[in-house]
Structure formats: C-alpha cells, structure tokens
Amino acid sequence: MQIEGKVWRYGDNIDTDVIIPARYLNTFDPAELAKHCMVDIDENFAKNVKAGDIIVGGKNFGCGSSREHAPVAIKASGVPVVIAASFARIFYRNGINIGLPLLEIGNDVEKISANDILKIDTATGTIENLTTGDKFKSQPLPGFVQEIAKAGGLINYIKNSDFK
C-alpha cells in the first residue's frame, strides 16, 4: 500500500489507556471509539484528524492493556499506518491481526516531527520524509506474519489457511 499523509507526533510509552480510555470501552463500535481516540493526551486529534494522516510515536507504543479497541480506534480514525521506535507486543500483534500496518524504525523516529509529510510503501517498509528529505526503512515482518498482513488480517488469513 502506498500512503502519503501528515504526521501526528507523540512521545514514548503511549499506552492503550490514553489511546482509548476505559470509560469508552462499554462499546466496541469502531466509529464510536474513533470519536474518543487519543483524547486523554491530545484533545485535538479526534476533532481534526483527516483520513490518510499518520501517527508517529516513540518507544513502546501501545503499552498496557490488551484492548484491541485501541488499534481499532486508530484505524477507524482514518489513520492507515502507525510508525514508532518500538511497539508493545500485544498492540503489535493486534495491529497485524486487524490489518493496520505498524512500522518499527528505532531511533529514526527522531527525524520525524509533527506535521511532516511522509510517503510510505507498507509492502517494502520504505518511508520518505517529504518535508525533510530523509529516507528510512522499517524492520520487515517475520515469516508467515507477512502472509497475515497481506491477507488484511488474521480472520481473512485463517478462513483460507487454518494455520496449516
């Protein structure tokens, strides 16, 4: 997938409680969750995010609760990809499983600032910062996890393969 979008930049240890606070977990409707996405850290996000915008975080993005409501809320906000120095493992799995590409790029995140425009190819993991001219590459997904991502998520994958 080719993506070009504007950056919403966040710091280290963005936890799933701030991505979608528990007070909104009495529903799992994606559109409803998107209305409250990031509210406890950035009130402007849900109001102003545009389809195609990109979230960039620091290390351990998505730590804490296993709530898949968090990547679901991000995806339903129209964000097609999240980039971070590193991801917490359950969030990472959940992203792959629901077909939200997550690109891990280590310290290179420091070369991305709020409102930069990025051009991304999720298949190859190449990222170009059109604002600064920097180019980087993310870690590739391991083995059959790539197949899950290609299928658009685990449910589609399992329908065709049953973990064979």
Partner 1 sequence: MGMTMSEKILAHHAGKNFVEPGQLVICPLDMVLANDVTGPPSIKEFEKIGKPVFDTEKIALIPDHFQPAKDIKSADLAKIMRDFAHKNKIKHYYEAGRVGIEHVILPEFGIVAPGMLTIGADSHTCTYGALNGFSTGVGTTDLAVGMATGKSWFKVPEAINVHLTGKKAKYISGKDVILTLIGKIGVDGALYKALEFSGEGVFELSMTDRLTISNMAIEAGAKAGIFPFDEITKNYVEGRVKKSYEPVAADTDAKYSQIVEINLSELKPVVALPHLPENVKNVEEVGEIKINQVVIGSCTNGRLEDLEIAAEILKNKKIHENVRAIIIPGSQAIYKEAVHRGLIDIFIDAGCVVSCPTCGPCLGGYMGILSAGERCVSTTNRNFRGRMGHVDSEVYLASPYVAAASAILGKISTPAEI
For binding to partner 1 (CB under 8 A), which residues are involved? 13, 15, 17-18, 21-23, 25-28, 40-41, 59-60, 63-69, 71-72, 86, 88-90, 93-94, 97-98, 142-145, 153-155, 158-159, 162-163
Token pair in block for residue 117 = 């425009």
- Give the shortest CB-18-to-partner 1 separation in angstroms: 6
Residue the block writes with tokens 């969030």: 91
- Give the shortest CB-81-to-partner 1 separation in angstroms: 18
- Give the shortest CB-6-to-partner 1 separation in angstroms: 25
Instruction: For residue 114, give Cα distances in angstroms to 5, 9, 19, 89, 154.
Output: 11, 5, 18, 25, 32
Nearer to partner 1 (CB atom), residue 81 or residue 84: 84
Nearer to partner 1 (CB atom), residue 2 or residue 159: 159
DSSP summary character for residue 9 = E
Q: Please, are residues 148 and 158 in contact by the beta-carbon 8 Å criterion?
A: no
Nearer to partner 1 (CB atom), residue 28 or residue 48: 28
Q: Please, are residues 60 and 13 in contact by the beta-carbon 8 Å criterion?
A: yes
- Give the shortest CB-119-to-partner 1 separation in angstroms: 28
Nearer to partner 1 (CB atom), residue 54 or residue 72: 72
Nearer to partner 1 (CB atom), residue 133 or residue 143: 143
- Give the shortest CB-4-to-partner 1 separation in angstroms: 28
Mapped onto helix, strand or coil, the DSSP state of residue 32 is helix
Question: Where does residue 145 rank: exposed (0-12), middle (13-18), buried (19+ CB within 10 A)?
Answer: middle
Cα–Cα distance, 39 to 109 (Å, whole number): 23
